[in-house]
Amino acid sequence: MKTSLQKELYPFMIVSGQKEHQLIEETFKDQIDHHTVISKKLEQSGQFMEAVRSLIDLCGDDPDRDGLQETPYRVLKAFLEYTEGYREDPKLHLAKTFDVDHDHKELVLVKDIEFYSICEHHFAPFFGVAHVAYFPNEKITGLSKIARMVDGYARRFQVQERLTKQIADAVEEVLEPQGTMVVLEAKHMCMCGRGVKKSDASTTTMSYRGIFEGRADLRAEFLSLLK
């Protein structure tokens, strides 16, 4: 039930109950023009939940049966979680840097960083691991910050190639290292339960910059460390 205050603040609200309102408020609390944004997002979330009901109907089930009544809200909540990377600048995780010890400008490799993303073509999950390496110049960053940055780009609508590139670009831009190399290995659900139905297929993508570009031996060393 909408309160009169809600009606006044959010006149475009369509199918929004208390739960949705709280979810939207919490999700977009950091937005600058707060009230305008919340009002618009509530309108959109109402339309989205209506669309999920239509989808259920279209697929041949009854959106009003017990098990499906809350599904539009659950799907909304899940999608806001899958895409929380849009509401941050992932590069900023790397921004707290430390000066590197001048005697130690050797490879730093963080491997097997689990990630979970959404394929922008089918909205099906793709997930796997990221391996991120760089040769520092003047700066290093906390290891966990690299994993946080990966999550920030993964939690968007993506293709694996762009995700790989964005991770490499972030390391390059913030840490200004001698070189960066990123490898992602992932399984795409859009190739498993539907379409071509190849559930054993996995995809490897790679981006490298700086010192890695002209040095096949360094790339080979990096890849050998992943075995």
- Interacting residues with ligand GTP (CB under 6 A): 119, 121, 159-161, 188, 190-191, 195-196
CA distance 43 to 14: 6
Nearer to Zn ion, 118 or 140 (CB): 118
CA distance 85 to 100: 29
CA distance 178 to 214: 12
Nearer to ligand GTP, 91 or 162 (CB): 162
Residue of minimal Cβ distance to ligand GTP: 195
CB 206 within 8 A of CB 182: yes
**Could you give the 3-state DSSP secondary structure of residue 97?**
strand
* Active-site annotation holds for 34: no
Give me the amino acid identity at 124.
A
Binning the chain into helix, strand and coil, the percentages to the nearest 5 are 45, 20, 30
Q: Which helix (H) or strand (E) holds 226?
A: none
* Active-site annotation holds for 18: no
* Active-site annotation holds for 188: yes
Residue 215 CB, nearest approach to ligand GTP (Å): 27
* Active-site annotation holds for 120: yes
Interface region with Zn ion, contact rule CB under 5 A, candidates 19-27, 49-57, 117-125, 207-215: 117-125
Interface region with Zn ion, contact rule CB under 5 A, candidates 33-41, 43-51, 85-93, 111-119: 111-119
Residue 152 CB, nearest approach to ligand GTP (Å): 17
CA distance 168 to 70: 40
**Rule CB under 5 A: is residue 119 a binding residue for Zn ion?**
yes
Residue ranges of the binding site for Zn(2+) = 119, 122, 190
**Rule CB under 5 A: is residue 121 a binding residue for Zn ion?**
yes
Residue 196 CB, nearest approach to ligand GTP (Å): 5
Nearer to ligand GTP, 27 or 205 (CB): 205
Strands (E), 19-148: 97-99, 108-119, 125-135, 139-141
Interface region with Zn ion, contact rule CB under 5 A, candidates 137-145, 169-177, 185-193, 204-212: 185-193
| DSSP assignment letter at 191 | G
Maximum Cα interatomic distance, the chain, rounded to a whole number of Å:
68
Just list the catalytic residues.
119-122, 160, 188, 190
Q: List residues near Zn ion by CB under 5 A.
A: 119, 121-122, 124, 190
